[in-house]
Amino acid sequence: MGNIKIKPLADRVLIEPLAAEEKTSSGIIIPDTAKEKPQKGNIIAVGPGTKDEKMEVKVGDVVLYGKYSGTELTIDGKDYLIMRQSDILAII
């Protein structure tokens, strides 16, 4: 988590999506083709904010975001999302 060399600009954040659910609550295993895109992730890096919008989230927060929010990136074989703070729905 600490070796990422990306610093988001303005009000953007870098998020590492949490793994999609492998099983339902009743124990049924979900195949890869039926898994939903994760909508929860860990904040890895935070931009400085703008004069109009101060940053509410911080590194280490677990957040909920929209299903199709952000831009997907792959860095060193790991998947990340970069998005504006306003695309984040809630801090868990």
Digit-coded pLDDT (tens) for 20-61: 666 777 777 777 666 667 799 999 999 999 999 999 999 999
- Closest alpha carbon to 82 in 18, 37, 16, 36: 16
Type of residue numbered 8:
P
CA–CA separation, 87 and 84 (whole Å): 5
* H/E element, 14: strand 12-17
Q: To 10 degrees, the CA torsion angle through 2, 59, 39, 87?
A: -130
Q: What is the pTM of this model?
A: 0.82
pLDDT in tens, 66-79: 988 999 999 889 99
pLDDT of residue 7: 92
Architecture of the CATH domain 1-18+38-92: Roll (2.30)
pLDDT of residue 46: 96
Domain positions in the chain: 1-18+38-92
Q: What is the mean pLDDT of residues 81-91?
A: 96
